Each structure stands twice: as structure tokens, then as C-alpha cells.
Amino acid sequence: MYVGVRIDKWSEARELCDMTRGCVFRGQADASWTLSTQLERAACAANCPPEHIANREAQILREFRRSAHHYDCAVPDTEDVIEWLALIQHHGGPTRLLDFTYSFYVAAFFAMESAVGDAAVWVFNRTGRIGRGLDGAKGLEGFAPKVNAELGRLAGQYFNGDIGGVGVIATEPERLSPRLVAQQGTFVIPMDVAKPFEENLAEALGLSGTTLGDPEMVSADESVTRRLTHETADLIKILLPRDIHPDALEDLWQMNISAATLFPGLDGFARSLGFHMRVAEKFAKLLDTLK
């Protein structure tokens, strides 16, 4: 099931977070944005035919592998395709990886940090059809690191063209970069890169069509949400209205979730200072009510 939940207060989002165990999350600053990878967007901008995307992707990986050792970075010492792609993604290159996190609050921060309108957090239930609907992944259970390693191996086979299919895989490299650790990051990966991410996802959910379409909207009532997240929902889109962002970002700041902690280094710290402008928005509204 694919549903949408619109909340009216940040406290409702916090209640919803407690009901989404076993899920991964992605925050997007515009609730109207579709789900698409950097590689997909780059191919669209370059008018690259879908049937050529896999070839271009392989060329990107080949060139990166050949030259990355010249730069001051720790390169993978294995043939772990996902680790190589994660490194390319980390440094701004186009890949088929779509960033997610195990933390609802980290995803909410990314959704609201610079949003100028309603934002959204996407919730993927890894224990549902998305996580276990692949032929190669059926029967995977037990020790989590072993399952993740097997899913990573499976994703590499799809990348290399050893096997084919349409769907998505949720996994992350065995070795994590400092940024992935800080952000509790993981990835959702389309199996068929010639097709849009949402078409791969729709196939994983058993939906017809090349896009997800509009979700079935429900209220944030706790009993309804609990039923959806724990029993039937494979994909949830949580809409975060713009007027709750200042309160939410202040709460996240108190949790020590900011650009300074999620992007270790001076760049992250400097980026985090924008928080003070968002707090000023909250005080401005308070002053308006007192006039």
C-alpha cells in the first residue's frame, strides 16, 4: 500500500516516528518532487537515451576507479560496486544510488532545512515488499549484516548486468564513510537503470504505471497511522507543511541534528549557521501575534 499522511503539528510527526520501526527515510525540500536519482536527472538533462544509461554509468565508474587514487581520499580496496558508487555519490558524481537514512529525524532535517514550501519525508518499509520482493532476496533473514552484504552483492549483479529485472534494493556498503555514519545513511537502488526510479519502485510495490501517482491520503490520527505503518503500508509520504518548519528545526537543533553534525567539518558548521535565520522567522511570527 502507498499512502500519504499530512500532519498539522510537529508533535504528530514525532508520534509517527515512533511507529515506523524497520523503515528507511528520505527527506525532500519540495513535497511535489518525484523520486529520482542523480544519474537519472543527469541523463534527462543530457537527452541520453534510456538504453545508453547503463553504458554511461559503467564508464563513469571505470574512470573514477582509474583516477581516484590520485586524490587525497580512501578508495575502496575491494570490488564492492556499491562502495565505489557511494564514494562517487559522496563527491557529487551521478550514480543510481538514492540517499536514505535510518533516522526519521535526519530525513526531516534534510526536508525542512532550506524548504520554501511544504516538504516531505518518504518512508520505505524495508520489511515489506520493497525489501523482500526480489527473486534473489527471497528467504533472506536473520543476522542483519549478513543480509545487507547479500543485498549489496545482489545490487552489484544488477549493476554489472549479470542478472536483470525491475524493482529496487535497499542496502549500503560494508565500509561506511564518516558522512554516512553521521547521517545514518543507506541507499535505495533501482535494479533497471534504463527505467526511471519510480517505475522500478512501482514494480516493487505491485503498482501499474511508470510513476507512483498520488497516494491515498489519510489523517495523522494515531490509530490510523499505527495500522498503516505496522500492518499494511509499504510506502508512506509524510507531508510537512511549511508553517511547522521553524518549530521542528528548533526541536531538531535541541537533538543535536544540524548541518554541523551531519556534515562533519568547517563547511557543515558554516552551513548550520543558517538555523539562526529560521529561528528568527519563528520570533517574527510571535511578535506579529503580540501586536
The pTM for the full model equals: 0.89
**8 Å CB contact between 176 and 144:** no
Question: 286 pLDDT band (50/70/90 cuts)?
Answer: low
| Residue of 108, 104, 92, 99 whose CA lies nearest to 36 | 99
Using CA of residue 280, residue 283, residue 285, residue 291, what is the dihedral sign?
Answer: negative
What does the pLDDT read at residue 155?
86
Write the burial class of residue 58 (CB in 10 Å: 0-12 exposed, 13-18 middle, 19+ buried): middle
* Statement: residue 122 has pLDDT above 50: yes
Confidence of residue 144 (pLDDT cuts 50, 70, 90): low
Which three three-digit cell numbers place residue 59? 564508464
Question: What does pLDDT average to over the chain?
Answer: 86
Encode pLDDT of 184-237 as tens digits.
999 999 999 999 999 999 888 888 777 787 888 888 877 677 777 766 788 999
Q: Pairing mode, if any, of strands 168-171 and 185-190?
A: antiparallel
Residue with the three cell numbers 580496496: 77
Query: For residues 120 and 104, is the Cβ–Cβ distance under 8 A?
Result: no
Sheet holding 168-171, edge to edge: 168-171, 185-190, 98-101, 23-28, 119-125, 235-240, 2-6, 216-218
Give residue-wise pLDDT tens across range 250-262: 999 999 999 999 9
